[in-house]
Amino acid sequence: MGDKMNVDTTMFRRAVWSYIHCMYGIRHDDYNYAEVNQMLERTLKAYIKTVTCYPERLTKNEYDLVMKEFKHSEKVELDFIRYFIALHAN
């Protein structure tokens, strides 16, 4: 992630996955949702909600301000995860 190599992003990706599922009304009994608040800061959750629920409202400035330490490719991966979940949830 960013400049760091060999980072295990499993918990982060699971938190993103679970947070987006919540937006679609899907909850998993076996997941500890406190992990979402531990792994995703408020600005990132706002970004994910905008991209998930109102993608047409997303601005370049919002994209640039969130996850500043992430590479562009990592931000795109997050958007792919969100897109896959949207397809899966519908």
| pLDDT for the residue numbered 33 | 94
d(CA 90, CA 82): 12
| C-alpha dihedral (90, 76, 40, 32), degrees to nearest 10 | 40
Give the amino acid at 41. Answer: E
For all residues of the chain together, what is the average pLDDT? Answer: 85
| pLDDT for the residue numbered 55 | 84
Average of per-residue pLDDT across 72-90: 77
| pLDDT for the residue numbered 84 | 79
Neighbours of 43 (CB within 10 A): 13
Indicate the pTM of the whole model: 0.79
Both tokens of 23, joined, read: 């937006």
